[in-house]
Amino acid sequence: MNLKIKKGDIFCTYNPIFFGRCINSIQRFYSCDDKSDYSHAGIILNEQGNTYEVSWITKEYNLYEHHKGNNLFIARYENLTDELFDNAVNTIRFLYGNQWYPFWRLFFFLVSPTSKYVSFGKVVCSEMVAHYLHLIGARHEHYCGTDVDKLYDELSNWRIYKTVFENKL
């Protein structure tokens, strides 16, 4: 599949394993629209589909290999420049590179407001993407506590983002 992706695009995907279904259940409980379709997010690094994600380890993956067969949503911030992208991704890599997935942080999402205040510098996938969006000037600075459903709602409804793709990969 040949998607029209660009560096700096953001993706959300559905993780069908038990872990992903649990995340969706919790997100749906706190969701304003009573829906939660996606449980993972990341940053697209180039047109070949390389991504930067908080997965088991925070590092580069490939969208086409890592998320094949999953429901996928891709959004683009139209005002992104090369300089903004490079600076933001370098900061994200410096802060979170090679971080093991902070599973213990997910417990704080059960009591939603708690996740905004207890991070100890470790982020889950949606918080890393929200931090990236703040660094490029597309989002407010409060990224701790952001879940994938909230991120999806912002990306699909705010006028500064364009939906690039939403379907099964």
Domains of the chain: 10-168 (3.90.1720.10)
Q: Are strands 10-13 and 71-77 parallel, antiparallel or unpaired?
A: antiparallel
Q: What pLDDT score does 118 carry?
A: 73
Q: What pLDDT score does 20 carry?
A: 66
Q: Mean pLDDT per 10-residue run, the chain (169 residues)?
A: 89 78 67 78 96 92 91 95 97 95 76 74 90 96 86 92 91
C-alpha dihedral (126, 131, 133, 139), degrees to nearest 10: 100
